[in-house]
Amino acid sequence: MAGIVVVFDFDKTIIDCDSDNWVVDDLGATDLFNELLPTMPWNSLMDRMMEELHSQGRTIEEIADSLKRAPLHPQIITAIKSAYSLGCDLRIVSDANLFFIETILKHHGLMDYFSEINTNPGFVDEEGKLRIFPYHDFKTASHGCDLCPPNMCKGLIIERIQSSVLKDGKKRFIYLGDGKGDYCPSLKLGDGDYVMPRKNLPLWELISSNPLLIKAEVHEWSYGEELGRVLIHLINKTQIEESTTSAAQLISADCKFQTMPLSSHDALPRTLPVPH
Ligand SMILES: [Mg+2]
Ligand SMILES: [Zn+2]
């Protein structure tokens, strides 16, 4: 297993549109959406829109059919499959919802490539109505991050993933995204990690406005082919670096072993500096 965790945003990263807007526009509810948007948080509005569509007689199948038509570049499908076969651990962190994401991933045969989907809960209730809830229940308590919308701080999710994978040794992260909500997790990445902002969109603009705040190496992309090319290049490059590093560690551990007192023997491999 490669020591690389690839974290994808979903809307405008895996698919080439915003799934919320796509469904609302496709099912003819754009005017109501725009009218209500100033009055409630986006995530709550999506639940309200699903209720509206249901009361207009729109079925869950119509919503699913609409999602299946959402544009997804074939090169992104190839990139996801290649990253997986190179041994990367793929995850999604998205402010869409579970029903939308699962419907689209299943339609393209991509469900099994991801070890985790972090998103807002979404499920069909007993009346056949899609309900969408916040990932973070902001009515009970705030998540405390000013950069993020009340229902989801992607930075907190990244921190949770970072600490959960730590037990298997040092992992390197590649984070791909486009939106404002992807900035907070990008700030949590460290040396040796990569962030791939989609060019000319809000994440890219935020990073460009103060590049010194980002510790990860920045690699921009614009379209599906480019996402695939950059991602696979970074995975290959990291894997070469990692194998060179572990070879160097082995050699250096071997040399040190001969001169070290036995008492510090068990601390050896973990305390060696990692050359960059
Ligand atoms: Mg996005
Ligand atoms: Zn945040």
Catalytic residue among 11, 89, 182, 193: 11
Contacts of 88 (CB under 8 A, 6+ apart): 2, 4, 5, 6, 174, 235
Contact 154, 184 (CB under 8 A): yes
The pLDDT-based confidence of 250 (bands split at 50, 70, 90) is confident
The pLDDT-based confidence of 255 (bands split at 50, 70, 90) is low
| C-alpha dist (Å) from residue 171 to 3, 121, 175, 230 | 5, 28, 13, 19
| C-alpha dist (Å) from residue 35 to 29, 30, 50, 190 | 10, 9, 15, 41
**Top CATH class, 4-17+72-129+139-233:** alpha beta
How far does the centroid of ligand 1 lie from the alpha carbon of residue 149, in Å?
Answer: 13
Query: Comparing 90-94, 103-107, 110-114, 137-141, which segment has the lowest mean pLDDT?
Result: 137-141
The pLDDT-based confidence of 28 (bands split at 50, 70, 90) is very high
Alpha helices in 118-223 (DSSP H): 154-165, 183-188, 202-209
Q: Is 11 a catalytic residue?
A: yes
Query: Comparing 16-30, 94-108, 234-248, which segment has the lowest mean pLDDT?
Result: 234-248
Contact 123, 137 (CB under 8 A): no
Retrieve residue 206's tokens: 């935020």
Percent of the chain with pLDDT strictly greater than 90:
84
| Residue 264 reports pLDDT greater than 60 | no
pLDDT of residue 178: 98
Ligand nearest to the CA of 182: 1
Q: Return the residue matching tokens 């194998």.
A: 243
